Chain A
């Protein structure tokens, strides 16, 4: 070991008083995310996986007629993109967001780095905010990549002719582009609700496995609950139902009620899960990590 950085005895050491603002803390989180292979793999998967999926569906001799837009999925790229959206909302989107959100807090426990970062003049509130924004930003980014890749691939594979809407109306291709893109974007609010849920489960369990897998399982359970006749009144307020809010855009006349309800329900879910998450993190004694 060689020369010391500390000043000679008798001199006054220069004392660092600078503290990281929110943007620096967010930059710290983003730097870590960028360095993880898992993050890059998810982004790459969102970009590339729609290609084989679109080809596989298009190559089917019998289109999946029982699914929404399945009847036209092999002949119309817009219908194919909407069919994929229907499936993606069931478990793919909760999983994609949970891969980062369920791990972003739990990984500090796993690596034992809470004490490393919390001994550097940065508050828990700053870390909570930065990690939450990073997880939500990632969720939106991965959704945008997935939607863009799916729509472009579907149209290239199955064409971009006029689309037959849910009421049997003919939607011109120029309008279909817009509606299909809007439909994919309606997945953002429920995906952010699942981001909040994954964050909560990651903080509560301190386990990335729970933070990642549990939101997907809970998503399936909520779909099951939504499909039960006795829970009909509850159905509009489940984040899983918000994944179906786009149906109204493709009916004639179109209706936006389910989208607005889904937006509010997703916001409430996110607020509750994040509120609980912060309560847990704020009160926690950092004894292990």
Chain B
């Protein structure tokens, strides 16, 4: 696919801040209609990449084209058909949500009648649109950020950790919204540090670590590379449980509390647990420690899982 046909075509992009190489020669290509995830731990360079995409900062090296346009050749025309936000979306606190959108619509050269109401309805802010943004919760600001992006009726929607800082209900709603937008045919570039989120929403993913690409491919490819899932198992008779484990293709290891860490293919773990139960051993705890993709993410980015 040639550069003009791609929604995003970044090649060998480098950006340094002083001695720190925030983005180190990354190449990312996003095709139209794709839902693409950029995944990485904090400080991986995801936000720096998105800032370059929006022209807030310029790359030191490499080329970056959006729908075939570059900042050097086309200036702000790069952003035609592009919308989104970088980090937490910010608004004027002394204006209401609606006034912020009206003001921003003015910068977009005006919007079609009814669109502001439509986007407010889409993000479920219609009934709170006339409150000053100063009184908005974090989640409401995130949703207003999505509304402000949709106001541009984009072809490419760029969202930087849209569920960051939200409570569980807010995360669920935000993911549902992003999925719905993605399903509607928009090209979505989603930055996240949450593997579950990317797995749930995206078709393809680039995993970044310390400014460089650690993995690039489809979610299916990523799943194929993933290690076996891990579980924490505690029973009324862990010694007997260990004996049963020896008959299955699972690895077990006792931790300091005596509970067992069980790692193995899904079917093997299921069979093992069924045998434990059949042997009249009662389960006190059986919880996944991390999903296979999470485990892979931590391996690829050389980071440790935070204890649940």
Contacts and interface: CB of A to CB of B under 8 A. Distances in A.
A117 B58 CA distance: 17
A27 interface: yes
Interface stretch (A5-13, A48-56, A135-143): A5-13
A89 B88 CA distance: 43
Contact of A32 (B81, B92, B124, B153): B92
Find the residue from A35, A120, A123, A286 having the highest chain B CB count within 10 A.
Answer: A120
Interface string A218-230: 0000000000000
Interface stretch (A17-25, A148-156, A180-188, A203-211): A17-25
Given A119-B79, A285-B56, A5 B177 contact: no
B168 interface: no
A121 B80 contact: yes
B75 interface: yes
Interface string B107-131: 1111100010011011110000000
Q: Is the interface of A mostly helix, strand, loop or mixed?
A: loop
Given A111-B90, A116-B91, A7 B83 contact: no
Given A1-B177, A115-B87, A15 B80 contact: yes
A16 B51 CA distance: 21
A34 to B, nearest CB: 10
Contacts of A20: 106-109
Interface stretch (B93-101, B243-251, B269-277): B93-101
Interface size class of B (residues with CB under 8 A): 35 or more
A184 to B, nearest CB: 32
Contacts of B118: 5
Contacts of B115: 5
Contacts of B75: 123
A3 B81 CA distance: 21
A182 B183 CA distance: 66
B85 A115 contact: yes
Contact of B90 (A10, A19, A115): A115
B288 interface: no
B122 A5 contact: yes
A16 B55 contact: no
Interface string B54-85: 11111000000000000000011101111111
B241 to A, nearest CB: 45
Contacts of A19: 76-77, 80, 108-109
B239 to A, nearest CB: 51
11 contacts: A1-B122, A2-B121, A5-B119, A16-B111, A17-B80, A20-B106, A31-B99, A116-B148, A119-B56, A119-B86, A285-B17
Interface of A: 1-11, 13-21, 24-25, 27-28, 31-32, 35-37, 111-123, 285-287, 289
